[in-house]
Structure 1
Amino acid sequence: MTIAQPGDLVRINYAGRLVDGTQFDSSEGRAPLEFTLGQGQVIKGLEQHVTGMETGQKSTVTIPAAAAYGPRRDEAIQTLDRAKVPNGVDLKVGTQLQARTADGGMLPITVVGMDEASVTVDANHPLAGQDLVFDVEVVEVVKAA
């Protein structure tokens, strides 16, 4: 059996759910999730859990919010002047938008409230503040060159 180590390419099947059992994502019906250990391509807790697993191994792990998407931050919720939203954007609660950061990057935000003059947006990841449970199966480990 091949053991997953930093630098290796891994492919996993997974199901992710909240601690109350609500499923939020799964690889079922899709190709396995592929990432390189140590590259930060998936949440830290999942990467740490997969490190040391063998091809074919299955396990379940609960990842605390701090090792997933972090805590919810009140400062990530802001109210903007509605005039700052480009014309033609269909605004309603739940709409996903992209905002440009000071360094030129893009930040996904969600509309959480609005009125005639303003729009309230939340830049927290939807799973921020949540402990997450993953069922994981290591499908393949490709050793680093």
Structure 2
Amino acid sequence: MTDVAQFVSEQSLAVIGTGSEVVLHFDLKLADGSAADSTRVNNKPAKLVIGDGNLTPSFEACLLGLKCGDKKSFTLEAIDAFGMPNPDNIYHMDRSKFGAETPADEGMIIAFTQPDGSELPGIIRAVAGDSVTVDFNHPLAGQKITFDVEILSVGLSS
């Protein structure tokens, strides 16, 4: 068997389990059917490792047992998808912290630099006088989400 044929054969037999490196396309829809996100828009599939802690256990459980070429649709309640909004992640900031290059306009998503240098997106929820309300919860927190996935490849994490 040629190396290519063996690779193709292994890919078609590989089943998603803990430690699997998975490449997939996904479409996210809200309860009302509206599109929230999709890897297909820019044709840039997502790559993830099952069990690395970056995804919720409920989402990973829906992928277990799938293999290359499989398509599946599943719906997760808010708590199992992106979690519930945490009121401790809502901050009131002074409007003077925002400049001309990053105005505090309601609905905007702004990247805030954390002390360790990483960036955290915040949504401007309200602007009242000198006070700006910034929500650091995931934008889809509190939402029931339907995931449509297509598995493009399954391998072992390196």
Q: Distance in 2 between matches of 1:132 and 1:106?
A: 25
Aligned residues: 145
Name the aligned partner's letter for residue 17 of structure 1.
Answer: K
- The answer (yes or no) to whether the contact 1:55–1:139 under 8 Å persists in 2 is yes
Tell me whether 1:49 sits opposite 2:65 in the alignment.
no
| Structure 1 position 109, deviation (Å) | 0.9
| Structure 1 position 27, deviation (Å) | 1.9
- The answer (yes or no) to whether the contact 1:44–1:68 under 8 Å persists in 2 is no
Of residues 40, 54, 59 in structure 2, which corresponds to 1:28?
Answer: 40
Q: Distance in 1 between matches of 2:71 and 2:100?
A: 49
TM-score, with length taken from structure 2: 0.79
- Listed one character per residue, the Cα deviations across residues 84-141 of structure 1 (whole Å, up to 9, x for unaligned) are 3356422211222233556665322111111331111111111000111011111111
Secondary structure, aligned partner of 1:66: helix
Hey, which of these two has a bigger chunk of helix by percent?
2
- The answer (yes or no) to whether the contact 2:110–2:122 under 8 Å persists in 1 is yes
Cα-Cα RMSD = 2.2
Tell me whether 1:143 sits opposite 2:156 in the alignment.
yes
Alignment of 1:76-87 (within 5 A): 76-86=89-99
Q: Corresponding residue for 1:10?
A: 22
Tell me whether 1:58 sits opposite 2:71 in the alignment.
yes
Please list every run of 5 or more consecutive structure 1 residues that lacks an aligned counterpart in the other structure: none
Q: Distance in 1 between matches of 2:92 and 2:157?
A: 47
TM-score, with length taken from structure 1: 0.85
Alignment of 1:117-128 (within 5 A): 117-128=130-141
- Listed one character per residue, the Cα deviations across residues 21-75 of structure 1 (whole Å, up to 9, x for unaligned) are 1111112251321111111334443222112212221111111212221101233
Tell me whether 1:98 sits opposite 2:111 in the alignment.
yes
Q: Distance in 2 between matches of 1:65 and 1:71?
A: 6
Q: 4+ runs of 1 displaced by more than 4 Å?
A: 100-105
- The answer (yes or no) to whether the contact 2:95–2:104 under 8 Å persists in 1 is no
Q: Aligned residues: percent identity?
A: 30
Tell me whether 1:39 sits opposite 2:52 in the alignment.
yes
